[in-house]
Amino acid sequence: TQYFISGAYTNEEGPITIQDAPMIQGSTRLNLKQAVNDKLTVSMTSYFSDRDRSLYGEGGESYFLRRLTFLTAQANLLAEDPNEPGGYSHIGESIDVGNAAENPVNRLVNTDHTEDRSRFLGGFDATYSPFRWLKVIGNVSIDRIDIDESYYQRPGLSRLFKTVKTLGSMRQEDRLRQEFNASLTLAANRQFGDLTMRNRVRWLMETLDNSGSEVRVSELPVGGVHSLGVATGTPQINSYSESIRSEGLFLINQFTYKDKYVGDFLVRQDGSSLFGADERWQNYGRVSMAWRVAQEPWFNVDWIDELKPRFSIGTSGGRPRFDAQYQTYAISSGQLIPTTLGNKSLKPELATEQEIGIDMVIAQRLKIVASLVDMKVEDQLLLVPLPSSTGFESQWKNAGTIETDTWEVGIEALIVDRPGLQWTTRVNLDKSESIITELNTPSFEITTPGYSRARMMVQEGEKVGAFYGFQWLESCDGLKEGSSCDEFDVNDMGHLVYVGAGNSWKDGKAKDLWGTKGTVNGRTYDWGHPIRPDSDSPLIFTKLGDSQPDLNASLSQDIQWGNVGISFLLDGEWGASIYNFSHHWQSRDWHNKIADMRGVPDAEKKPISYFSALQYRNNANSFFAEDADYVKLREVSVRYIMYEDDLPDIVRRTGIKQATINLIGRNLKTWTDYLGFDPEVGTDTYGGSAVVGRVDEWAIPNYRSFGIDVEVVF
């Protein structure tokens, strides 16, 4: 009998210190393995974790950060309100605070938004070997996640410059996700001379059930009572239930000949209830080949220990979301409103990937892995807008093809290897470019209802994640035909501005020109202000940037000197763009830090109206499309290892073989010119992925953290 028992406890403070709401998680693991006889072995695995955390002000919760950045620096947010025990006061002076409707600290400390999440994973395996070369393997497993989320905001909170108090609100949400899987595998391993064959036949069954319910209430007559029943307002009740069933059959053959020629073949059939009714079953396959050239008798390069070119080609499928195939409606004022048209012919995306690469080991110290990958994703799943004549807003369709080219290089060098000292360096470089090569529907844009934040275009020939808007003029080429360039100048922000004959952009204060206007070729301009292109100009709607970097890179070092180990990781990204909507909206209310003219020479100072003009009614424009280049000190760790010989006798008698203490710091330093809090930002509002939707909308940044790990091996 073999067994493994482990436990872990985590207590992590949140990013907002005024809110005493740490993330606390405990987990335990128990694994057992029993040989019933020489042919039958059974095993059991189990894992349970429970996590409590505050959701307010964490992760995607942007309210606190958004409101905070709209307040003036002199606002005393921590001043207690003598007329409101436990609350925080108004700002105090009648100053323009833009969109800040209340003190965000007041709301923060008087709002509880918590999540209790528990997870259980269990599995049972049985392996029967009737012959030495044949195994029958059965597996069943379960993965259950229970989430209890609650929200409470006490009534009676003051709002800035408003006599109306908040009425208070509560929300209770319960979610359950349960997955049950079963598989049966027939495995045969045979050797015929120099040929080793490994064959698998596998059947897989998966079930996934999601369900949840939510109740929202408002108008709480008393504070401090966390009960839905005390609310006097009309409750809002919602629930959902989803069931997904999948089944698959795999045929796998792997072979090695003379330990030099390696092959891998797979044929697979998948069936899923997520596929449209007319496309329930799909077929996939894979072929992989490798050649260990350095093992050939004629290869006599002594300093090359491994030289392995390889090639593979395979297909797979990206599954639709649960509701994509169905016809959906919304309810408004008791009326059914058609929203999404169903599609019985909806198929999974078909991804075909080809990879060619080479692996090398040189002098047992240098390892190089290089790959070129070409991926073509056909039948792309897109939510396509429909003509109003259909009666529906949109429909999920297999409407496009995306082709992605990727190259990757990884280098690992063992710089020092001697008793008591090892030093390893790793460098990784990669680049991917994804382009929409086919679109079987008219071009369309992805945006957020109610705003023109970042207008992401989906059209043939365009990169995935490209966003559009208007380009502020940077040269006279964008002026109306016939306009004289003599009355314009380019300022220190790169903007073309009207200055009048004989003036420069630096003459605004010296000649008292700010606030004046001028007319050129029938168009009136504000002196010194950025110029928006004319409505018939190609710059009125042009590409501003895209979310795909030109290069990703990382550098890691690991040094082990006796019992002490030190490691660090640097990584970076170059060439991508971010649409900084956080700064965009702040410019509307005069709270963008770029408007701070302290320390700026008088000739270069600009009035607040200059930065308000850049905001231009929330319309996406070039000024807020920023470079996302950065380098991060991602992690530093210092560890001390006590091996068995280092442990006191009294400790060894307990069965402890090794103990390690590890101090870790993460996200320690970022080098970037990006004006937002963190260049690692995105939202899944655009295209369903934060990697594609590189839009900054007040998300809490990746904050610096420090931790200590203690590991004991028995």
Q: Facing residues of 657 across strands?
A: none
- From residue 47, alpha-carbon distances to 154, 317, 656 in Å are 37, 30, 23
Dihedrals phi, psi of 678, to nearest 5 degrees:
-155, 125
Q: What is the pLDDT of residue 448?
A: 63
Which range, of 131-135, 430-434, 443-447, averages the lowest pLDDT? 443-447
381-390 pLDDT tens trace: 988 888 888 9
Q: What is the pLDDT of residue 628?
A: 94
Residue 534 has pLDDT above 80, yes or no: yes
687 pLDDT band, cuts 50/70/90, is: low
Question: What pLDDT sits at residue 693?
Answer: 81
Torsion angles phi and psi, residue 587, rounded to 5: -65, -30
Question: What local confidence, expressed as pLDDT, does residue 22 receive?
Answer: 80
In the predicted structure, residue 263 carries a pLDDT above the cut 90: yes
Residue 61 has a pLDDT of 47
Whole-number pLDDT of residue 325? 94
The span from the CA of 703 to the CA of 666, in Å, is 8
pLDDT at residue 60 tops 50: no
The per-residue pLDDT for 272 is 96
- Predicted local confidence at residue 585, as pLDDT: 84
Kindly report the pTM of this predicted structure.
Answer: 0.85
The C-alpha angle 268, 274, 276, rounded to 5 degrees, equals: 95
Q: What do you get for the CA distance between the two ends of the chain, in Å?
A: 16
Contacts of 541 (CB under 8 A, 6+ apart): 468, 469, 470
3 state SS for 91-130: CCCCCCCCCCCCCHHHHHHCEEEEEEEEEEEEEEEEEEEE
- Write out the E strands in 387-462: 394-398, 400-418, 421-439, 444-446, 455-458
Summarised one tens digit per residue, pLDDT across range 162-216 is 556 678 899 999 999 999 999 999 999 999 999 999 999 999 999 999 999 999 9
pLDDT of amino acid 159: 58
State how far the Cα of 403 lies from the Cα of 442, in Å rounded to an integer. Answer: 19
CA distance 613 to 60: 29
Do 609 and 530 touch, CB atoms closer than 8 A? no
* Mean pLDDT taken over the chain: 89
Surface-to-core class of residue 5, CB atoms within 10 Å of its CB (0-12 exposed, 13-18 middle, 19+ buried): exposed
Sign of CA dihedral 14, 448, 104, 595: positive
Ranges 493-507, 639-653, 661-675: which has the least confidence = 639-653
Lowest-pLDDT range, 426-435, 470-479, 599-608, 702-711?
A: 702-711
pLDDT digits (tens, 9 = 90+) for 354-406: 999 999 999 999 999 999 999 999 999 988 888 888 999 999 999 999 999 99
**pLDDT reading at 90 higher than 60:** no
Is the pLDDT confidence value at 234 over 80?
yes
Half-sphere exposure of 227 (CA within 13 A, CB side): 6
Does pLDDT of 507 surpass 90?
A: yes
Query: What percentage of the chain reaches a pLDDT higher than 90?
Result: 64
Per-residue burial over 83-107, b if 16 or more Cβ lie within 10 Å, else e, is: ebeebbbbbeeeeebbebebbbbbb
Number of helices and strands in the chain (H, E): 5, 35
Residue 256 has pLDDT above 60, yes or no: yes
Which range in 432-446, 452-466, 520-534, 649-663 is most confidently predicted, on average pLDDT?
520-534
Q: Is the pLDDT of residue 640 over 50?
A: yes
Structure confidence at residue 617 (pLDDT): 83
Assess whether pLDDT exceeds 60 at residue 93.
Answer: no
| pLDDT of 65 | 74
Q: Residue 96: its pLDDT value, please?
A: 43
In degrees and rounded to multiples of 5, residue 610 shows phi and psi of -60, -45
Residue-wise pLDDT tens digits, 544-565: 999 999 999 999 999 999 999 9
| Whether the predicted pLDDT of 101 surpasses 80 | no
Q: How far apart are CA 699 and CA 62, in angstroms?
A: 5
Confidence class of residue 59 from pLDDT cuts 50, 70 and 90?
A: very low
Q: What is the mean pLDDT of residues 647-655?
A: 82
